[in-house]
A and B are shown apart, each in its own frame.
Chain A
Amino acid sequence: MIVADKKPIEEIIEEIKNHEKILILGCNECVTVCEAGGKKEVGVLASALRMYFLNQGKQVKIDEITLERQCDHEYLEEIRDRMDQYDAVVSLACGVGVQFMAEKYHSTPIYPGVNTCFLGVTEERGLWTERCQACGHCILASTGGICPVARCAKRILNGPCGGSTKGKCEIDKEIDCAWQLIIDRLKALDRLDEYEELCPLKDWSTDRAGGPRKVVREDVQQ
């Protein structure tokens, strides 16, 4: 999932302080799971903002809606007939949702309510860690299901480097060396011979290096 973190309320207040009719728009998908932008977080933020503006003596209308997703047309269309009631929207979706909202509703400013962090997993409640950098050309088949692109600080494809000590990365003793994990995993799978095979140069044109990307699937297009 896409992992996001809450923005400080002070920052959101600064974004919207000049507006009077504000919609706090949550998303029921990834940001709900990582407890940054779901219905509950929308409720907490809206309540806090209502009290803040009331305390400041300002009449500000703050409404709450949480959509199923903010990255699909059909869900964003659900609020079209209500958008004229607001002069600003704080989207608690990831950066994708914020942008899609902005693309769809040209005349209403859309502000981000979360910081979008990475593609990751819930290791435990309150702890989310990165697993994928969406490089566009998956090599997990040859690395025992552990990604050196996302989990090695240097993104090296034939590791480990000299900075690997006792299974940890030189940048932080808390971070596992991805290549140590790969070697351990290949050993457990009895595929250590594959580790000897050099990984050829990776085509990074499918990564961000090639500019904004798109996936075209003519077979499912209408």
Chain B
Amino acid sequence: MRLQYPSNIKIILVPCTGKVDVLYILRAFEKGADGVYVVGCLEGDCHFDNGNFRARKRVEQAQKILDVIGVGGERAQMYNLSSSEAPRFAEIAIEMDEKIRALGPSPIKAAKQKAA
């Protein structure tokens, strides 16, 4: 299909979104990510039954923490799509890229540069 999506998105593969922990999301922000989104299978379609539901809960947990520490919970998002939906994948990537660009760089990244 040769679909295009923003090149600033780094994909981290996990066997199932159920593997994604709150800590993974926080560490990404700590390392300077401007936004993190988890892309899981469609709800009800998890091969492991509830991996994507677990991921959603963990993203919500991360959002709460990010709100408290002043980074902003909206920088972490959860999306669901089927593995055959490549156009939707590209669409989500563009949507997330636009959302984060509107929010601006992560305050953590700026603070890290200032501290260095």
Give A contacts to B, CB under 8 Å: 8-10, 40, 43-44, 47-52, 54-57, 59
Contacts and interface: CB of A to CB of B under 8 A. Distances in A.
B115 A44 contact: no
B23 A43 contact: yes
B70 A48 contact: no
B11 interface: no
A9 B70 contact: no
Contacts of A50: 30
Contact of B27 (A47, A54, A59): A47
26 contacts: A9-B65, A9-B68, A9-B69, A40-B23, A43-B23, A44-B23, A44-B26, A47-B27, A47-B30, A48-B65, A49-B69, A51-B26, A51-B29, A51-B108, A52-B68, A52-B69, A52-B70, A54-B115, A55-B69, A55-B107, A55-B108, A56-B70, A57-B111, A57-B114, A57-B115, A59-B115
B74 to A, nearest CB: 16
A59 B29 CA distance: 18
Contacts of B65: 9, 44, 48
A14 B68 CA distance: 12
A48 B111 contact: no
Contact of B26 (A8, A10, A48, A59): A48
Across chains A and B, which 5 residue pairs bring their CB atoms closest together, nearest first? A52-B69, A47-B26, A54-B111, A55-B70, A43-B23
A51 B22 contact: no
Contacts of A40: 21, 23
B77 to A, nearest CB: 18
Interface of B: 21-23, 26-27, 29-30, 65, 68-71, 107-108, 111-112, 114-115
Nearest to B110: A55
Given A48-B68, A51-B108, 17 more contacts: A9-B65, A9-B68, A43-B23, A44-B23, A44-B65, A47-B23, A47-B26, A47-B27, A47-B30, A48-B26, A48-B65, A50-B30, A51-B26, A51-B69, A52-B70, A55-B69, A57-B115
A28 B26 CA distance: 22
B27 A10 contact: no
Contacts of B23: 40, 43-44, 47
B116 to A, nearest CB: 11
A10 B113 CA distance: 25
- Which residue, A10, A51, A56, A59, has most C-beta atoms of chain B within 10 A? A51
A40 B58 CA distance: 13
A54 B71 CA distance: 11
B30 A51 contact: yes
A51 B109 CA distance: 10
B47 to A, nearest CB: 20
Given A50-B30, A51-B29, A51-B108, A44 B22 contact: yes
